[in-house]
Amino acid sequence: MSSGAPVWITRAQPGAAATAERVAALGFSPVVDPLLEVIPLAATIDLSGVAALAFTSANGVEGFARCSARRDLPVFTVGEATARAAREAGFAAPLSADGDVAALERLIAEARPGPVLWAGAETPAGDLVAGLQAQGVEARGVAVYATVARAPTRATLGLLDAPLTVLVHSPRAARALARILEGRPSHQELRLLCLSPAVAAPLMVVAEPGSVAFAPRPDESTLLNLLGA
């Protein structure tokens, strides 16, 4: 992929802006037009009996921090970006699984910290709470934000007719993009770079063979390495 080429960033804000900075630093032209929008929820955080917190996204960290002043509990996060958000929110030493929800589940199950509260999306991509409960870890969840679909602009849709790379961070964004691509003629110069195999799956059905790739590790740095491939 040539330097300066457009890269459509589909993830929700505020993460989209941070990704755009990284894409621009690599010499590409970021196009920030999220397919998803995060809506804060007014949640009541009940920490009675809770021994540790779990976060599967930076938005979950932000939502918890908005609804609760507590920062003294141990924190487990899905990856380093979420751990960084937790540190910035005031948590001292979050432990990162450096992977996906399954990796976070394994990390917590091995640590056995006691009852866990997960704070995250109203409709999560993976069910961490059920996974922990299945392994004998007491866990419950609280929704601190909702994610809703957002239509891209006409200008962004017009880019689909020219060489374009699209970064896709979540299965829900991938499904939204797949619906858009279903109604358009496909072309070989569209590259769809996904955070994980689960994110790539909806796009494999509608995209040209070979146009979809996913990061070997589910973190953004590995995903961005695909830009130069």
Q: What CATH number is given to the structural domain containing 206?
A: 3.40.50.10090
- Asked whether residue 114 is domain-assigned, the answer is yes
The range of the structural domain enclosing residue 132 comes to: 39-148
Residue 102 covered by a domain: yes
Domain annotation covers residue 167: yes
Domain boundary residue, one of 113, 148, 183: 148
| Residues 25 and 70 both lie in one domain | no
112 inside domain:
yes
Rounded to whole angstroms, the Cα distance separating 173 from 10 reads: 7
What is the rounded distance in angstroms from the CA atom of residue 221 to the CA atom of residue 181? 26
Where a domain ends, among 105, 130, 148?
148
Alpha helices in the chain (DSSP H): 15-25, 58-67, 80-89, 101-111, 128-134, 154-158, 171-182, 197-204, 220-225
The predicted structure's pLDDT at residue 26:
94
pLDDT at 2: 57
Q: Are 45 and 114 found together in one domain?
A: yes
pLDDT of 189 reads 84
Q: Please check whether residues 43 and 18 belong to one and the same domain.
A: no
If asked whether residues 169 and 180 sit together in one domain, one would say yes
Q: What proportion of the chain, given as a percentage, has pLDDT over 70?
A: 97
What's the CA gap between 107 and 100, in Å, rounded?
11
Assess contact for 116 and 53: CB atoms under 8 A: yes
Examine the domain organization and report whether 56 and 111 are in the same domain.
yes
User: Do 134 and 74 fall within a single domain?
Assistant: yes
The pLDDT assigned to 1 comes to 55
**Amino acid in position 216:** P
Number of domains making up the chain: 2
pLDDT digit string (tens) for 80-127? 889 999 999 999 999 999 988 999 999 999 999 999 999 999 988 789
- What is the rounded distance in angstroms from the CA atom of residue 78 to the CA atom of residue 215? 16
What gap in Å lies between CA 200 and CA 212, rounded to an integer?
Answer: 7
Q: Are residues 142 and 195 both part of a single domain?
A: no
* Distance (Å, whole) CA 137 – CA 156: 45
**What confidence score (pLDDT) does residue 109 get?**
97
Whether 1 maps to a domain, the answer reads no
**Is 182 found in the same domain as 113?**
no
> Are 138 and 183 contained in the same domain?
no
Could you tell me if residue 19 is inside a domain?
Answer: yes
For 15-63, give the DSSP string.
HHHHHHHHHHHTT-EEEE--SEEEEE-------TT--EEEESSHHHHHH
Looking at residues 185-196, what average pLDDT do you find? 85
Domain check: are 127 and 167 in the same one?
no
Do residues 143 and 84 both lie within one domain? yes
Of 148, 164, 194, which residue is a domain's last? 148
What is the model's pTM? 0.83
The pLDDT of residue 210 is 86
User: Does 94 lie in the same domain as 31?
Assistant: no
- For position 3, what pLDDT does the model report? 58
